[in-house]
A and B are shown apart, each in its own frame.
Chain A
Amino acid sequence: MKEVRETSENVLLLDGGNTLFGDRLAQETQGQAIVEAMNLLGYDAMVLGDMDFWLGLDVLRQRMEEAEFPILSANVVIQGAEQLFATPYVIKEIGDHKAAIIGLTNQEAADAAGGAIVVLDPLEALKDYVAQVSEEADVIIVLSHLGTEMDLQLADEVQGIDLIIGGMSRDVLDPLVWIEASGTVVAQAGYQGQWIGVVSLETDSQGKVAGHEGQVVVLTGEFADDPEMRAFLDQYK
Chain B
Amino acid sequence: MRRIKLVVLVALAVVGLAFWGCGSPTPKRPLELTVLHTNDTMGFTEPCG
Residues of A in contact with B (beta carbons under 8 Å apart): 1, 4, 8-27, 31, 33-34, 37, 49, 51, 94-97, 99, 138-139, 141, 145, 163, 165-168, 170, 187-207, 210, 219, 221, 233
Contacts and interface: CB of A to CB of B under 8 A. Distances in A.
Interface of B: 27-48
15 contacts: A11-B34, A13-B36, A15-B37, A17-B39, A23-B43, A95-B28, A187-B37, A190-B40, A191-B39, A192-B42, A193-B41, A193-B45, A196-B38, A199-B34, A201-B31
Contacts, number: 164
B39 A201 contact: no
B37 A165 contact: yes
Contact of A200 (B33, B40, B42, B46): B33
Given A95-B29, A96-B29, A198 B43 contact: no
B40 A12 contact: no
A94 B33 contact: yes
B36 A4 contact: yes
A203 B28 CA distance: 10
Given A193-B45, A194-B47, A202 B31 contact: yes
Given A11-B36, A13-B36, A197-B36, A192 B31 contact: no
